[in-house]
Structure 1
Amino acid sequence: MARLPRRAPGELDGEALALHEKITSGPRGASMTDEREALVGPFTAMLLSPPVGDALQELGAAIRYRSTLPPRARELAILTVADHWDSAFERRAHESAGRAAGLTEEELATLHSADPFEAAVLTTTRRLLESGDLTDDEYAALDERTLFELTTLVGYYATLAMQLRVYRVT
């Protein structure tokens, strides 16, 4: 059972309402709201501390919409983090995004890719989740910008998965 109630815009004031409007007017749009226009998933908790929540959602927007990670590789990495943390919400949300990015049902089910770059992203993501570090060979498999964006992605989605678990968001 969810520990946080979803709050519709009419139940918010000040910074929380401004953050709600920022999230729903951004690239995620209304896809992160329910029938009452209340934020869903990790965005519910972000309203608890609007300054921190805003910084966190901005980081997520940068990862999703402004990084150089190709959409297929990005969604495979996000889904790998969701699987590692058993995050049903992120899995549902990003399977849809993965399909839109061109992932097949088999790729979504197995989280594998025949593409060498995507395979390297998957290997690196799994290694980061297992140990938080990379061997020299693993480090050399991707360029440094990609590694920076990927380590940021893994940390961000691990944070969301933890928050979703703590607040019992499904």
Structure 2
Amino acid sequence: MARLPYLNPEDLAEEDRPLLKRMITLHRCLVNSPGAARAFGGLGQYIRYGAKLDPRLRELAILQVGWLARSPYEWSHHVKIGHDFGVTDADIEALIAETDGRPNSLEPLARLVLKGTREVYAGGMSEATFRELQAHLTNEQMVDLTVTASFYCAVVRTLASLAIDVEPEYQPYLDRFPFPA
């Protein structure tokens, strides 16, 4: 159960009500601080709709963070969103295998993006991995990948600290791709 109340549009000042155009539990909790919700949403929207990183690779990076953090909310939401941006069930199974160091079907660039994301999650991308990625990505894409991985590290920590609940409609994604026991 969330540690702060889930607010509804009628709980907010008129100018803040658009912050709840998506009535997901994360947004309903974040609007306890409309300014923070606005800033959080601004970067999230850039990552999803403005970043120059390939959308499938972006979603794989986000899923990598969700998997590493064992974040039910992030994982379930981005399994669904990932599907919308070209991530397949086979990609998700391969991401799990890649994280465990097992052979998988991901292409080399996807594996490298996941490696870089794991390093960001652990504290920062290594020089060697950064240089390897630079051979495939533009400077703009490198920044977008780094910001995406870093932002989603903050997202999973926000979700855990506020104890945000997974909405029932996202539970099937957790059932299909559960975390290890």
**TM bracket (short chain):** 0.7 to 0.9
Mapping of residues 30-49 of structure 1, within 5 Å: 32-33=22-23, 39-41=24-26, 43-49=27-33
1:18: which partner in 2? 15
Q: Distance in 2 between matches of 1:23 and 1:141?
A: 40
Which of these residues, 113, 118, 124, is aligned with residue 110 of structure 2? 118
TM-score between both structures, scaled by the size of structure 2: 0.76
C-alpha deviation, 1:77, in angstroms: 0.3
Q: Distance in 2 between matches of 1:8 and 1:52?
A: 16
TM-score between both structures, scaled by the size of structure 1: 0.80
C-alpha deviation, 1:22, in angstroms: 4.2
8 Å CA contact 1:72, 1:102 repeated in 2: yes
Which of these residues, 149, 152, 177, is aligned with residue 154 of structure 1? 149
* Pair 1:114–1:44, CA change in 2 (3 A): same
**3-state SS of paired residue (2:4):** coil
Count of residue pairs brought into register by the alignment: 153
Q: Distance in 1 between matches of 2:7 and 2:77?
A: 20
**3-state SS of paired residue (1:141):** helix
**What letter is aligned with 1:106?**
A
Structure 1: 4+ residue segments shifted above 4 A: none
* Pair 1:133–1:5, CA change in 2 (3 A): same
Q: Distance in 2 between matches of 1:93 and 1:128?
A: 21
- Segments of structure 2 that go 5 or more residues without pairing to the other structure are 99-104, 166-181
- Segments of structure 1 that go 5 or more residues without pairing to the other structure are 25-31, 34-38
C-alpha deviation, 1:23, in angstroms: 5.3
Mapping of residues 1-170 of structure 1, within 5 Å: 1-13=1-13, 17-22=14-19, 24=21, 32-33=22-23, 39-41=24-26, 43-111=27-95, 112=98, 114-135=106-127, 137-143=128-134, 144-170=139-165
Cα RMSD between the aligned structures? 1.9
C-alpha deviation, 1:52, in angstroms: 2.5
* Pair 1:20–1:109, CA change in 2 (3 A): farther
